[in-house]
Amino acid sequence: MNAVTFSYEWDAPQGGRVMNASKPGCRTVTSRAPYARSCWTVFVLSLFSFALPLSAQQRQKVIIDQDAMGPAYTDLQAILVLLQSPKVEPLGITVVSGDGWRDEEVAHTLRLLEIIGRPDIPVVPGAVFPLVNTKEATARWEKLYGRIRYQGAWNYGKVHEPFVVPDLPEGSPTLKPASEDAAHFIIRMVHQYPHEITILTAGPLTNLGLAIALDSQVPDLAKELVFNGARINPQNVDYKDSNLLARDFNLWWDPEAAHIVLTAPWHKITCTPLDISIKTWMSKDLIGRIAKGSTPLSRYLASFATEGYMWDELTFAAWVDPTIITKQEVLYLDANINHGGNYGDTLSWLPGDNPGMGEQPVQVNEELDKQRFYDMFVELMTHPTPQARRP
Ligand SMILES: [Ca+2]
């Protein structure tokens, strides 16, 4: 990726639907002349933007909400997509249980910030448990309806008690988390910067559900919501966690919170569902390209990154550079909160078919330019961390 393309990506306007990813930075035009002028303008501007770091006013404020299991892994690698982008001003990372327990995830996140030189970013502990769902209720559910293979902190990896923080392979952090809780942090930030903050979340939605329950102004005061979750109707894919077409972990772990969030009046919602995430793959080749970097981050990823779907990286990268996405569809989404056989499943409707019970239109990412995504990811993971402090 050359410097011009690189710099344009960080300055690309947000939220646009770009169907022609073969011409990065140049959206659909009606004649050759405007296209040429447009590209020349982009070229000149990009030279300046590459030379000059974005000011704090120009960077886009984000709150990163995540079940931040590590080391590396999709959760922390997605956080890195944002922290490595010069266009992003991270206000804080709010952590929720999901893939792991909150306190272990907080420790992994703090250690990562130490490694990349961003100890200034607050790490804010959030919900340890879902609002209603429990491990015991899930065990009862399985007696009736069958096995649920992936249950995050309840059955994945080295299972331990919720508040235990085991020794971390990447080393234990000396940094401490914020004393505020995630819900109140989110509320405080959206009031401090009304309509400026993009909330990007790629874990269970408990923190956001709690924030909205405490203060119903949160969705209106945020600029937009970007989330990973839902499972619409994946086709022709080799993904076998279950044969049920509608179960996705982030919605399933806390369906009630997901229902609160998905029926709240956000100004804009963008979803990266399971369907598109499983078209990506963190391959050995990709890890090898990152390992050639010479930064503390690239060395960290060389040590700890593993092969797998790039669920959360794609979710956040598609917001940083929307031209990665080549097809979107507007759907209305919710989580099933009936405590029967479909508890926690994704509910989805075409516009006009939705029941009108508060569900919101969601821009659902459906197709991507994989090579563009992979190249962007390698570039982000190997260049120096913006705003990094060195001891
Ligand atoms: Ca996640």
User: pLDDT tens across 153-202, in order?
Assistant: 999 988 999 999 999 999 999 999 999 999 999 999 999 999 999 999 99
CA of 250 to the centre of ligand 1 (A): 7
CA of 141 to the centre of ligand 1 (A): 24
CA of 101 to the centre of ligand 1 (A): 12
| 36-80 confidence digits (pLDDT tens) | 444 444 444 444 444 446 777 689 999 999 999 999 999 999 999
CA of 202 to the centre of ligand 1 (A): 4
**Does one domain contain both 246 and 211?**
yes
CA of 206 to the centre of ligand 1 (A): 12
What is the three-class DSSP state of 253?
A: helix
To which residue do tokens 């960080």 refer?
10
**Does one domain contain both 3 and 65?**
no
**Does one domain contain both 19 and 61?**
no
Residue 162 DSSP class: T
CA of 53 to the centre of ligand 1 (A): 29
| 197-210 confidence digits (pLDDT tens) | 999 999 999 999 99
| 112-154 confidence digits (pLDDT tens) | 999 999 999 999 999 999 999 999 999 999 999 999 999 999 9
CA of 211 to the centre of ligand 1 (A): 19
Q: Is the pLDDT of residue 270 over 90?
A: yes
CA of 312 to the centre of ligand 1 (A): 6
**Does one domain contain both 238 and 374?**
yes
Overall domain count for the chain: 2
Residue pair 191/166 in contact by the 8 Å Cβ criterion: no
Q: Is the pLDDT of residue 23 over 90?
A: no
Q: Is this prediction's pTM over 0.75?
A: yes
CA of 192 to the centre of ligand 1 (A): 26
Residue pair 124/211 in contact by the 8 Å Cβ criterion: no
How many whole angstroms separate alpha carbon 225 and alpha carbon 233?
A: 22
| Burial classification of residue 13, based on how many CB atoms lie within 10 Å of its CB (0-12 exposed, 13-18 middle, 19 or more buried) | exposed
Residue pair 297/84 in contact by the 8 Å Cβ criterion: yes
**Does one domain contain both 106 and 243?**
yes
**Does one domain contain both 73 and 33?**
no
Per-residue confidence (pLDDT) for residue 245, from 0 to 100: 72
